[in-house]
Structure 1
Amino acid sequence: MEPVSVLRSRLESLLLVADEPTSPADFARVLDAPVDEVAAELVAIATEFSDRGMGFDLRERDGLWRLYTRRENSSTVEAKILDGAQQRLSRAALETLAVVAYRQPVTRSQVAGVRGVNCDGVMRTLTLRGLIAEVGVTGEVGGAHLYATTDLFLEQLGIGSLEELPNLAPLLPDVDSIDSIDSVDSIDTAGRTD
């Protein structure tokens, strides 16, 4: 098998890192190559990937090109993505999630007040995983963000509503008793964070 051209090699590298569909002109500008040569190489790459039955496709839509996983492999790709989403939560994340679930809507400061530790990082992680979401702000001046659990949280637990959660709420302090907490700095956490 003969080696690929420098243009093709560089173009393939750009395709791998492109985070959005890209025009031949944009590729040509970065590669300092003629647009017609880049366009012809994109067609050649797409044809070869298709003919060889590669695990990915190079597709053109509205004059823009992007790599995609092959449609025939969608169930395999979905299984991998869902497998990654099934990663276990840390103890800190589970504790934080429990506080949000039982006392929602709550602010970060309220969650920190219950846990006795700064939980900003854990709250970000739970938000990124789609288990909690910002649902508003408090009515105070410069109001704090309020968080609540999401439908994905219910789905992951296999329940239809929060009423189906086990009755642990009496074990948590009342949100009203921690409403006066302005920041986690007012908590004696001895510098603890998650």
Structure 2
Amino acid sequence: MPPQVEAEPDGEPAEQAADQIAFDINDFPGGARTAIEAVLMVVDQPVTDEELAGALEISPDDVLGHLKDLERQYDDEQRGFALRAINNAWRIYSRADYAPVIEKFLLDGQHARLTQASLETLAVIAYRQPISRSRVSAVRGVNVDGVIRTLLTRGLIHELGQDTEGGAMLYGTTPYFLQRLGLGSLEELPPLAPHLPDVDVIDELVEQGHG
């Protein structure tokens, strides 16, 4: 049976309703440039100017011009962050000049206790790595974007590259994770994996969540 598409109150499928989101980019304060900034603040991996152009419904050339202007602006103002393009994809990064500040903040943060949500998410990643964000969400039944960012910041997980099939970012635990647990390798983890869904079940949950 094909996955059911949730209907909006007026009876239209949710996917069609999403396609009907319309706006005039010039109606936003600051226009396209500030709209690009807003998108860059929420992306969890670099985006291309073509992707931004499609989302904002303006030309890639205009997007590229705004990106380069923002890059120069941040550099001229010596902001704590910088806009950089790596492999033709753009993302906002903390400026390298402030690495000592960032390092101290992250190290100090290691002493704070993880929340229950963080511990549960970390367990899923540890036993099912490499695993994508959507699959972690499927297992836990909640959005894990904020928790993933916390675990990345703490240095307990890291990005392992993109899934060859769907292109989603995959995550796994770090050597620091093993160090904190006093383990020599992942093989020394307690036998909790049987209590987590199999990969096929996780895939089914992901499909249901996208239905």
Q: TM-score, normalised by structure 2?
A: 0.48
1:109 maps to what in 2? 134
1:168 maps to what in 2? 192
Distance 1:18 1:117, change over 3 A: closer
In the TM superposition, what are the counterparts of 1:174-193 in structure 2 within 5 Å?
Answer: 174-182=198-206, 185-186=209-210
Q: How many residues align?
A: 117
Contact preservation (8 Å) 1:92, 1:122: yes
AA of the residue aligned to 2:121: T
Contact preservation (8 Å) 2:109, 2:154: no
Cα RMSD of the aligned pairs, angstroms, is: 3.2
AA of the residue aligned to 2:139: V
In the TM superposition, what are the counterparts of 1:151-166 in structure 2 within 5 Å?
Answer: 151-166=175-190
Contact preservation (8 Å) 1:137, 1:145: yes
Distance 1:143 1:113, change over 3 A: same
- CA distance, structure 1, for counterparts of residue 144 and residue 176 of structure 2: 21
- CA distance, structure 2, for counterparts of residue 176 and residue 155 of structure 1: 31
| Structure 1 residue 126 corresponds to structure 2 residue 151 | yes
- CA distance, structure 1, for counterparts of residue 207 and residue 115 of structure 2: 24
Contact preservation (8 Å) 1:106, 1:148: yes
Deviations 1:110-142 (A, max 9, x none): 1011101110110111111111111011112x5
Structure 2 residue runs without a partner (length 5+): 1-77, 81-97
- CA distance, structure 2, for counterparts of residue 173 and residue 84 of structure 1: 31
Contact preservation (8 Å) 1:109, 1:184: no
- Runs of 4+ with >3 A deviation: 80-84, 180-187
Structure 1 residue runs without a partner (length 5+): 1-16, 20-65, 70-77, 188-194
- Between the aligned residues of both structures, percent identity stands at 58
Higher relative contact order (CA 8 A, sep 6+): 1
Contact preservation (8 Å) 2:139, 2:205: no
Distance 1:184 1:126, change over 3 A: farther
Distance 1:183 1:109, change over 3 A: farther
Contact preservation (8 Å) 1:134, 1:148: yes
- CA distance, structure 2, for counterparts of residue 85 and residue 107 of structure 1: 24
2:67 maps to what in 1? none
